[in-house]
Amino acid sequence: MNSRLTHLDETGAAHMVDIGGKVETERVAIAEGSVRMRAETLDLIKSGNAAKGDVIGTARIAGIMAAKKTHELIPLCHPLLLNKISVDIESDEALPGLHVVATVKLTGKTGVEMEALTAVSVACLTIYDMAKAVDKSMIIQDIRLLQKSGGKSGDWSVKASET
């Protein structure tokens, strides 16, 4: 693991990392998060009867759009030409709530972890926004990177790091 923060120079000033000399590789990142809510709220969302419309469909589109705009939201992120973004949202009765997983892919010189995490975050925020009229107590939780592949640092996954 790198022991140095790559976005800081030798004086401690923040800067965008120079990726000009890096080799292009296929890079993939998968992130997850969830929105915990009352069971009645989950039922309302699943039935498609939320006042603001299709919560899951809208959150999916919001997550995809957010991944594409990550460089506009997170300082020092590079604008990227993404090859694929998927945002999957499933109901989870055990929470109760919705579980969000985003997968982002590209062939390029820098990773897509921030794009996957941004997609999940904005999808969760959109779920909250669309259902807050009936449940202000919802909790956005457990947003994290599950795995990444490609690049100089190689592959990483939660499961591998926990062993």
**In this structure, how many other beta carbons lie within 10 angstroms of the beta carbon of residue 45?**
25
The amino acid that residue 74 corresponds to is I
Helices (H), 10-149: 39-47, 55-68, 70-73, 113-131
DSSP 99-130: EEEEEEEEEESS--HHHHHHHHHHHHHHHHHH
**Residue among 54, 129, 135, 142 flagged as catalytic:** 129
Q: How far apart are CA 157 and CA 29, in angstroms?
A: 10
129 is catalytic: yes
**What are 50's two structure tokens?**
């939320």
Residues with catalytic roles: 129
